[in-house]
């Protein structure tokens, strides 16, 4: 048996906070919402899924935000995403470069930590550079 990938990441949210979740995950991160299957919809929460990213938010009665554990989301324009976060009132850290990746952190409306990452393309340094 081998693990072949990650299907989705699940984060917790407090009861009754789905509308606030939509404002962040749909409007700021631009992830489309996917209706939950009917047999799961009664539990509350919501699913946000693109072709390559699936974040499921589940209601937790005794909610506590995930301040350390977090998803790392790849973005193609970190500055644009950070700008949307700040325009909507979400504090975001300043980007830092680690190896060939710029990264920053933002908290969703519930205090869950989200890492935003943009991989930098290697720049050619002459005709023989790979």
Contact 94, 106 (CB under 8 A): no
Contact 59, 43 (CB under 8 A): yes
Task: Catalogue all structural domains in the chain, each as residue range(s) with its CATH number.
Answer: 9-119 (3.10.180.10)
Per-residue pLDDT, 113: 97
pLDDT (tens digit per residue) in 35-78: 999 999 999 999 999 999 999 999 999 999 999 999 999 999 99
pLDDT (tens digit per residue) in 83-106: 999 999 998 999 999 999 999 999
Residues 6+ apart with CB under 8 A from 52: none
Per-residue pLDDT, 126: 46
pTM, to two decimals: 0.87
Beta-ladder partners of 11: 57
Per-residue pLDDT, 121: 76
Where does residue 3 fall: left (phi above 0), alpha (psi -120 to 50 degrees), or beta otherwise? beta
């Amino acid at each position: 048996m081998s693990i072949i990938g990650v299907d989705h990441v699940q984060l917790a949210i407090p009861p009754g906070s789905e509308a606030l979740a939509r404002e962040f995950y749909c409007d700021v991160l631009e992830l489309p919402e996917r209706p939950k299957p009917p047999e799961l919809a009664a539990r509350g929460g919501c699913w946000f899924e693109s072709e390559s990213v699936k974040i499921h938010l589940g209601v937790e009665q005794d909610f506590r935000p995930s301040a350390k554990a977090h998803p790392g989301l790849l973005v193609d324009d970190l500055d644009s995403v950070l700008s949307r976060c700040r325009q909507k009132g979400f504090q975001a850290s300043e980007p830092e470069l680690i190896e060939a990746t710029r990264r920053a952190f933002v908290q969703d409306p519930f205090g869950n930590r989200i890492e935003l990452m943009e991989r930098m393309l290697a720049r050619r340094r002459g005709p023989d550079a790979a």
